[in-house]
């Protein structure tokens, strides 16, 4: 039986305006960049900060658009729950991309957009790290009780995502060998950011979560999985670069589909648990 909520669990403070502005700026950038990468790949390659092909931009676009959902929720609600989850994931996401980009600066195209790229990611990294430190003693808010099965699954997902994210950082070529198309090592390291961010968010929720945080991560997973699969189909029809005959392609699709289905399950569970507001 679930325990009654305590004052600590119900305490869900508003977040400061500068943090809300920081997240809002991220929302705008994710929306604009995600739309261009996902829906206008030919245009994206002319302005992107590293050399890529139209057949590859939708993978990045799906990452940006799926990341937009939790950012928008955090901006709208602007309370510790779900900001705690979103800022933690955003911090990991931006730090990993900043470090990978810095270590592979030779891969970057010397243009104005590249300088803006580094500046924005550095600002987001420092800003989110500062607020995580500032609120490091703030307990999780509006917490709910999850079943042991859910807790065990979330821990397992966090471990799998974390290990795969580290694999993409250390041995990107090996860890992307089963993807539907060939991925450069640098790109694999960049993509590690979404898996490490996902691992961070999932582990947080396995420790303590609110209904809104569970919904937020579930929606993010659903969008990430579905947008990747839809993008794959579009790329196949447009460029014919997808290796459909490879069993590993279907493994990749299955993994993304599973993440999406679990995301739906998380949203359903959050709806059932929204007893305490």
Q: What is the pLDDT of residue 277?
A: 47
Length of the chain: 277
Tokens (6 digits) for 245: 């005959």
Q: What is the pLDDT of residue 275?
A: 56
pLDDT along the chain (277 residues), means of 10: 47 94 93 93 89 84 92 96 97 96 91 90 95 95 94 98 97 91 89 96 96 97 94 82 84 95 97 70
Residue with tokens 């989110």: 128
Q: Give the closest residue to 275 by CA, choosing from 145, 183, 159.
A: 145
Say if residues 263 and 220 touch (Cβ distance below 8 Å). Answer: yes
- CA–CA distance, 220 with 267 (Å, rounded to integer): 10
Sign of CA dihedral 230, 231, 236, 239: positive
- CA–CA distance, 60 with 76 (Å, rounded to integer): 25
CA dihedral 172, 177, 181, 184 (to 10 degrees): 30
Helix 247-273 × helix 148-170 angle, to 10°: 140
Tokens (6 digits) for 103: 């270590």
Q: What is the pLDDT of residue 75?
A: 96
Q: Give the closest residue to 72 by CA, choosing from 219, 249, 233.
A: 219
- pLDDT tens per residue, range 137-190: 999 999 999 999 999 999 999 999 999 999 999 999 999 988 888 888 999 999
Tokens (6 digits) for 219: 């929606």
Q: What is the pLDDT of residue 55?
A: 77
Burial (CB count within 10 angstroms: exposed 0-12, middle 13-18, buried 19+), residue 210: buried
């Amino acid at each position: 039986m679930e325990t009654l909520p305590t004052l600590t669990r119900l305490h869900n403070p508003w977040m400061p305006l500068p943090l809300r502005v920081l997240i809002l700026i991220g929302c705008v950038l994710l929306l604009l960049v995600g739309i261009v990468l996902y829906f206008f790949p030919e245009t994206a390659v002319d302005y992107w900060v590293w050399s890529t092909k139209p057949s590859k931009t939708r993978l990045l676009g799906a990452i940006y658009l799926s990341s937009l959902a939790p950012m928008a929720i955090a901006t709208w609600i602007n309370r510790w729950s779900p900001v705690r989850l979103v800022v933690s994931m955003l911090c990991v996401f931006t730090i990993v991309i900043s470090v990978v980009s810095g270590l592979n600066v030779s891969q970057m195209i010397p243009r104005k957009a590249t300088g803006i790229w580094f500046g924005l990611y550095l600002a987001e990294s420092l800003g989110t790290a500062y607020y995580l430190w500032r609120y490091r003693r703030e307990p999780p808010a509006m917490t709910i009780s999850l079943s042991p099965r859910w807790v065990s699954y979330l821990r397992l997902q966090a471990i799998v995502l974390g290990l795969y994210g580290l694999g993409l950082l250390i041995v990107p070529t090996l860890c992307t060998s089963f993807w539907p198309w060939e991925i450069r090592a640098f790109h694999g390291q960049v993509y590690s950011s979404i898996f490490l961010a996902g691992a961070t968010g999932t582990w947080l929720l396995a420790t303590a979560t609110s209904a809104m945080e569970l919904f937020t991560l579930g929606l993010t997973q659903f969008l990430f999985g579905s947008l990747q699969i839809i993008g794959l189909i579009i790329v196949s029809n447009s460029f014919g670069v997808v290796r459909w005959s490879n069993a590993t392609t279907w493994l990749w699709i299955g993994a993304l589909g599973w993440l999406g289905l679990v995301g739906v399950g998380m949203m359903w569970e959050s709806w059932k648990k929204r007893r305490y507001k």
